[in-house]
Amino acid sequence: MSLRLSMPELGLKKRRHSFDEVALGYSAEQAIAEAKRCLQCASIKSRNIKAECVRGCPTETDIPRFVKYVSEGDFDSAIEVIKERNALPAICGRVCPYENQCEKLCILSKKGEALAIGGLERFVADHERKKNIKVSKKAETSGKIVAVIGSGPAGLTTAADLAKLGHDVTIYEALHEVGGVLMYGIPEFRLPKEIVQAEVEYVKRLGVSIQTNVVIGRSIGVEGLLEKFDAVFIGTGAGLPRFLNIPGENLNGVYSSNEFLIRTNLMKAYKFPEYDTPIKIGKKVAVIGAGNVAIDSARVALRLGGEDVCIIYRRSEKEMPARAEEIKRAKEEGIQFKLLTNPVRIIGDEGGWVKQIECVRMKLGDSDKSGRRMPIPIEDSEFTLDVDTVIIAIGQSPNPLISKVTNGLKTTRGGAIKIDENGRTSLEGVFAGGDITPGTATVIEAMSAGKRAARAIHEYISR
């Protein structure tokens, strides 16, 4: 069985000091060769049997069909197949955890290496962008109007699917840029912003209008939108940083990952002084957490001049939630991993700046509700590390503004908006999806929730 073609990458030396994209993508010849490895497993519609890879894809993209077109060199037809189900393929092809989804179930992985489905999706989407192929057609108008709050992957997908059905959609976005975390969270070297904006342009070409700098819940709320629109979708994400609640978190030199990444990505601090956003980063940087946000923060800190950058995580490598590919790249770039280690105190100097972090060593006990083994502190194992910057990246909570000001909108104890399996909230005509709802934490899950909600909204406004 032939081996999977590895994707070319930017050289290690250049990568450690540059925000240029690390993964470089396949050439046409490489994409064709990789696509030819596919076994073209059959889907039988009448018996509801799907190829394994399709079962693993939250948007149910017809993977064997698009891959077949790639193997024949017909990239234009391949992108049409993908766009039947996925409005943001250049983004998904870069950041989706496909190793846990379509590629995990791919039949080829049983005896060797899975087909590089993500890499092929990325190749086809990039081909479309470079050739400027316009595959979107405006549908005949239905006369119904829908408001979408938030322009992250959930909002963009809901809007695109509704526009394809002929509905008139307006997205309201609080920030000056469109794309949510894709723009302000995930760094340029993993997801170039030019690519996000090209996919946003596709959504606009479908007829969606987008208003930026509008915070729903301030000048106008959900109730106000319902007076004008036939339905409302809330896709406001989880942008509220969580903290450790340990002494010293308010010292100078301690950032939340949110602030750190927004300053770097959205306000372009990495291009200072060309952009007027300074960011102070020391030589010794500790990042707390081990998800994608933590790994991204550590790799950004390295590129901004950090010399000694480490991840501090209370469990072992096996439990790290970040994508395996990005952990590997972080290690190659020189990020150190201090595992089974938990911070208990941040220590400052006389000027109120961070100088040390005190940690305790941990061991793993029994599994918790999530199936991961619980970290337990080892008695008398405290030690200190010299640091001059600390970045807290232990997760985010749902944005609270809309649920606070909307009467009757039910939320969980953690502040996520409660929905049924079709994205309906407790309020008539109001739907929600993505990170603002329980159990969603990835781009593709947010998109999949957007697709479900779009179907339910269509049904609701077509009654």
Residues that bind ligand SF4 (CB under 6 A): 38-41, 51-53, 63-64, 67, 106-108, 115, 117
Number of residues in contact with ligand FAD under rule CB under 6 A: 41
By CB under 6 A, residue 402 contacts ligand FAD:
yes
Residue 32 binding target from ligand FAD, ligand SF4, none, CB below 5 to 8 Å by type: none
- Is the bond into 58 cis (omega within 30 degrees of 0)? no
Q: Which does 215 bind (CB under 5 to 8 A by kind): ligand SF4, ligand FAD, none?
A: ligand FAD
**Overall size of the chain counted in residues:** 463
Q: What are the two backbone dihedrals, phi and then psi, of residue 203, each rounded to the nearest 5 degrees?
A: -65, -40
Distance of alpha carbon 66 from alpha carbon 89, whole angstroms: 12
CA–CA distance, 374 with 8 (Å, rounded to integer): 38
Shortest distance, CB of residue 341 to ligand FAD, whole angstroms?
A: 22
Answer whether 95's CB lies under 8 Å from 188's CB.
no
8 A C-beta contact, residue 362 and residue 378: yes
234/172 Cα distance (integer angstroms)? 10
User: Are residues 33 and 5 in contact, defined by beta-carbon separation less than 8 angstroms?
Assistant: yes
* Per-residue CA distances from 339 to 64, 248, 342, 362 (Å): 40, 21, 8, 8
Output 118 or 152, the one with its CB closest to ligand SF4: 118
Under 8 Å between Cβ of 200 and 176: no
The CA-based diameter of the chain, rounded to the nearest angstrom, is: 73
Q: Check residue 435 for interaction with ligand FAD (CB under 6 A).
A: yes
Q: What is the per-residue binding string for ligand FAD in 268-307, x denoting contact by CB under 6 A?
A: ------------------------xx--x-----------
What is the rounded CA–CA span in Å between residue 211 and residue 195? 20
Residue whose CB is less far from ligand SF4, 52 or 388: 52
Q: Find residue 353's DSSP bridge partners.
A: 252
Burial level of 218, CB count in 10 A (0-12/13-18/19+)? exposed
Residue 181 near ligand FAD by CB under 6 A: yes
- Closest separation between CB of residue 349 and ligand FAD, Å? 29
Note whether 446 binds ligand FAD by CB under 6 A: yes
Q: Give the residue with the Cβ less far from ligand SF4, 38 or 359.
A: 38
Picking from 414, 318, 413, the residue whose alpha carbon sits closest to that of residue 367 is: 318
CA distance 180 to 239: 9
Angstrom distance (rounded) from CA 307 to CA 212:
38
Partner interacting with residue 267 (select from ligand FAD, ligand SF4, none; CB below 5-8 Å by kind) = none
Q: What is the nearest approach in angstroms of ligand SF4 to the Cβ of residue 266?
A: 36
Q: Which of 23, 186, 311, 335 binds ligand FAD (CB under 6 A)?
A: 186
Point out which span in 57-65, 94-102, 363-371, 412-420 binds ligand FAD (CB under 6 A).
94-102
Q: Is 173 in the site for ligand FAD (CB under 6 A)?
A: yes
- CB closer to ligand FAD out of 185 and 248: 185
Residue 347 partner contact from ligand SF4, ligand FAD, none using kind-dependent CB cut-offs of 5 to 8 Å: none
Determine the Cα angle at 196 with ends 280 and 399, to 5°: 65
Q: Establish if 423 lies at the interface with ligand FAD (CB under 6 A).
A: no
Least distance in angstroms from the C-beta of 217 to ligand FAD:
5
Task: Residue 96: name its binding partner from ligand FAD, ligand SF4, none (Cβ under 5 to 8 Å by kind).
Answer: ligand FAD
> Which residues of 113-228 form beta strands (DSSP E)?
145-149, 168-172, 209-211
User: Which residues, 115 to 154, sit near ligand FAD by CB under 6 A?
Assistant: 149-154
Which residue in the set 95, 225, 298, 357 belongs to the binding site for ligand FAD (CB under 6 A)? Answer: 95
* 44 versus 380: smaller Cβ distance to ligand SF4: 44
Query: Tokens 């939320």 belong to which residue?
Result: 411
Query: Of 161, 188, 52, whose CA–CA distance to 117 is shortest?
Result: 52
Nearer to ligand SF4, 48 or 245 (CB): 48
Q: How far is the CB of 186 from ligand FAD (least distance, A)?
A: 5
Closer by beta carbon to ligand FAD, 315 or else 323: 323
Distance (Å, rounded) from C-alpha 292 to C-alpha 294?
6
Please give the residue ranges that form the binding site for ligand FAD (CB under 6 A): 95-97, 149-155, 172-175, 180-181, 185-186, 215-217, 235-237, 239, 261, 292-293, 296, 323, 399, 401-402, 434-436, 441-444, 446
